[in-house]
């Protein structure tokens, strides 16, 4: 621990680091650091000749706090607040934040360093049927929030797995193993936002798959992103038709319903049936099928989005919560 009077001098005496150097030491992508700077104000505080910004010792120490907290499951927004509000005198050895060359990394019980969390690493782990490694990689990838986790990591990995043709033994299915690992990571994630979202006063949003065999994993990812923003998001599972959906709405009284199809030919009959039963309920539809979208009811309460992030934006606007929750939604 650096004494209060020595914190500033330690920072002045330490070398300043580039974005790439800090990213390597923390075990994150440079883009993640730029995101943390833009969203949470955890950026470099010094500027050298030529307008090149550099991270000082205190900057890196705060980023280490941010990184460790997110790896422990704390929502990014809350982790950033703690990192910003911690006095420099209380940060762990400010000078060693610069001099320490060992990156923060996720390790297996055997001490294995996972390395960078990439789509390729996830696909390789799934094809090797290494469920524990999949879970650890997916857990580390949640540090930037569930929206980035899905868009930048999980969705591309699932697409890559779907494109692979393999000869498997009975019971071996890399795609199913991957989905199960992703669901387990979302299920086990406990944050302060989770407790807020489950408060009786929190807005409830109901998420449901369209009646066309849509995979529910994207719904769980969207629900997790909403929970990060203090929305009590719930996913409808099991058999689902208009009657079931209306009953769930009467029971949960959601401020909005999200219906998603991941098919090129979507069946959005649930939308028309739900709107007819509850006309003033906001319904958000996620689909890439232009023909199906053209057949949606032309009402102010029915909204359509083509992307995961666009759908998240729309729902957040409808619930009236801040976009500065666990992870940002700009993309």
Predicted pLDDT of residue 223: 94
Neighbouring CB atoms inside 10 A of 223's CB total 23
Predicted pLDDT of residue 108: 46
Kindly state the DSSP code that residue 38 receives in the 8-state scheme: H
Predicted pLDDT of residue 8: 44
Residues 245 and 279 in one domain: yes
- Whether 109 is in a domain gets the answer no
Contacts of 57 (CB under 8 A, 6+ apart): 10, 11, 14, 94, 95, 97, 98
Residues 179 and 202 in one domain: no
Residues 197 and 182 in one domain: no
- Whether 148 is in a domain gets the answer yes
Residues 311 and 197 in one domain: yes
Residues 142 and 236 in one domain: no
Residues 184 and 216 in one domain: no
Tokens 């099928």 map to which residue?
289
- Whether 20 is in a domain gets the answer yes
Residues 313 and 226 in one domain: yes
Q: Single out the residue in 99, 132, 161 at which a domain terminates.
A: 99
Residues 173 and 201 in one domain: no
Residues 22 and 90 in one domain: yes
- Whether 106 is in a domain gets the answer no
Q: Where in the sequence is the domain holding 155, given as residue range(s)?
A: 119-188
Predicted pLDDT of residue 124: 92
Residues 13 and 89 in one domain: yes
- Whether 28 is in a domain gets the answer yes
Length of the chain: 331
Residues 228 and 134 in one domain: no
Rg for the chain, CA atoms, rounded: 22
Residues 87 and 132 in one domain: no
pLDDT tens for the 331 residues of the chain, in order: 334 444 443 444 455 788 877 877 776 777 788 888 888 888 887 665 555 678 888 888 888 888 877 766 667 887 888 888 888 776 654 444 444 434 444 554 445 566 677 888 899 999 999 999 999 999 988 877 898 899 888 999 999 999 888 888 999 999 999 999 999 999 988 655 555 556 666 778 999 999 878 889 999 999 999 988 888 999 999 889 999 999 999 999 999 999 999 888 888 999 989 999 998 899 999 998 888 888 888 788 898 888 898 899 888 887 775 444 443 333 3
pTM over the 0.85 mark: no
**Residue 239 maps to which CATH number?**
3.40.50.280
Total domain count, the chain: 3
């Amino acid at each position: 621990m650096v004494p209060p009077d020595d914190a500033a001098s330690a920072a002045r005496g330490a070398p300043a680091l580039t974005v790439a150097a800090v990213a390597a030491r923390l075990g994150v992508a440079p883009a993640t650091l730029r995101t943390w700077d833009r969203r949470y104000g955890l950026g470099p505080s010094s500027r050298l000749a030529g307008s090149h910004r550099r991270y000082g010792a205190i900057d890196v120490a705060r980023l280490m706090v941010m990184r460790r907290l997110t790896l422990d499951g704390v929502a990014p927004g809350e982790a950033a607040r703690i990192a910003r509000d911690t006095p420099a005198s209380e940060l762990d050895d400010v000078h060693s934040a610069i001099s320490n060359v060992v990156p923060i990394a996720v390790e297996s019980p055997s001490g294995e360093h996972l390395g960078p969390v990439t789509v390729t690493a996830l696909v390789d782990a799934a094809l090797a049927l290494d469920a524990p490694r999949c879970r650890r990689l997916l857990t580390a990838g949640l540090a930037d929030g569930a929206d980035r986790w899905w868009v930048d990591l999980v969705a591309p990995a699932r697409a890559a797995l779907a494109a692979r043709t393999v000869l498997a033994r009975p019971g071996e299915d890399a795609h199913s193993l991957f989905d199960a690992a992703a669901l387990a990571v979302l299920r086990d994630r406990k944050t302060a936002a989770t407790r807020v979202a489950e408060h009786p006063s929190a807005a409830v949003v109901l998420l449901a798959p369209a009646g066309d065999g849509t995979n529910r994993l994207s719904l769980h990812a969207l629900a997790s992103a909403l929970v990060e923003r203090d929305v009590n998001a719930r996913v409808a599972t099991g058999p689902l038709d208009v009657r079931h959906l209306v009953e769930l709405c009467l029971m949960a009284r959601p401020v909005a319903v999200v219906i998603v199809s991941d098919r090129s030919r979507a069946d959005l009959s649930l939308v028309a049936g739900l709107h007819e039963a509850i006309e003033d309920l906001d319904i958000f539809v996620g689909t890439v099928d232009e023909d199906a979208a053209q057949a949606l009811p032309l009402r102010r309460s029915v909204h359509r989005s083509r992307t995961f992030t666009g759908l998240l934006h729309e729902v957040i606007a409808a619930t009236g919560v801040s976009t500065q929750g666990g992870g940002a939604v700009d993309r």
